[in-house]
Structure 1
Amino acid sequence: MAPIVIVGPPGAGKSTIAQLVAERIGLAVRDTDADVEAEQGVSVQDIFVEAGEARFRELEHAAVARALAEHDGIVSLGGGAPVHEDTRKLLREHRVVFLDVGLAQAAARVGMNSGRPLLLGNVRGQLKRLMDERRPVYLEVATTVIDTDALSPDEVADAVIAFVEEAR
């Protein structure tokens, strides 16, 4: 079975939903940010600071390519991964779930999390900017869109599982 890919902005619940779906249907989860950190031996935040966003996006693209080629479970991408053109090309061949979330919910979920390098400073303002810029990209790669605002994590996981079952 080809992997199921989960994309969305910070605060959409990608990691949480990937884990819930994987547990319920007996699949493994692969998180490409964790893959980059393991390969580089430093955090995503440190890569941003030391090497810059462009270098991180290249490392992230390589991690996404490996995950899509090697993994047949759930693949959770970092929020910015689909921004890379070559990553978008790879995603066209896969089932991609876009976890959509409104600004209010995303901001509440992210909180003042300064561990996210692109959200430093005015978290809500930066989050809005990222969401506005990336929404067309998420829609471009998505096979299905799930609006998470009014749903619990369990309900979102149910919707992802329903999509997976339909796709089989």
Structure 2
Amino acid sequence: MSPVVVLVGPPGAGKTTVGRVLAERLGVGLHDTDTAIEEAAGRSVSDIFVGEGEARFRELERVEVVRALAEEHGVVALGGGAVMQEAIATALREGDHRVVFLDVTIADAAGRVGFDASRPLLVVNPRAAWTRLMNARRPVYEALATVRVQTGDRTPEQIADEVLQALGQAR
């Protein structure tokens, strides 16, 4: 069993929101790996970062994402930095997954997430941090993606329509 589709992209791209719409339209569940990590750990991603450090979070993330890619059947939404771990990138490539890169500009991302304390890598100088992260991650998102969809100035339903059409599952 493997996911119907895997969503990747930066904070504010709409992975969870679009994932819900896609899951509903496809008649499957949504598995958000950050939410799964929070539920298993009993605390937020931000609290894990602060209390145990980024390395511990990335370890938890690697285990959860690799498991989800092997066992979940539905829409799987990955945390923004997950693809930067080689084990996860390899699992995406070798699993022949349908990976959708939800792309977004910094202006649209800022409007959606507000760059608050719940985004631990964006706490200090959020715009500069987001830009730095995106510059490092964009080539990886693009290399792993089956499809790239721009999310700015669009509703989750419009984005889901484009994703389904691009994957040959238009309804």
Category of TM-score, reference length = shorter chain: over 0.9
Q: Which runs of 5 or more structure 1 residues have no equivalent in the other structure?
A: none
The one-letter code matched in structure 1 to 2:55 is A
Q: Which amino acid aligns with 2:90?
A: K
Matched-pair contact (CA < 8 Å) for 1:83–1:134 = yes
Conserved in 1, the CA contact under 8 Å of 2:121 and 2:129? Answer: yes
Match runs of 1:13-162 below 5 Å: 13-92=14-93, 93=95, 94-162=97-165
Percent identity reads 53
- How much has 1:91 moved relative to structure 2? 0.7
Matched residue SS, 2:66: helix
**CA deviation after TM superposition for structure 1 residue 88, in Å:** 0.2
Q: Once superposed, what is the RMSD of the aligned Cα atoms? A: 1.5
Query: For the Cα contact (< 8 Å) 1:20–1:154, is it kept in 2?
Result: yes
**What amino acid sits opposite 1:89 in the alignment?**
T
**Secondary structure of 2:89's partner?**
helix
2:2 is the alignment partner of 1:2 = yes
Q: CA deviation at 1:166?
A: 5.2
The CA distance in 2 between the partners of 1:130 and 1:12, in whole Å, is 13
CA distance in structure 1 between the partners assigned to 2:164 and 2:17 by the alignment = 14
Do the aligned partners of 2:34 and 2:78 also contact (CA within 8 Å) in 1? yes
Cα pair 1:12 1:99 within 8 Å, conserved: yes
- SS of the aligned residue for 2:63 comes to helix
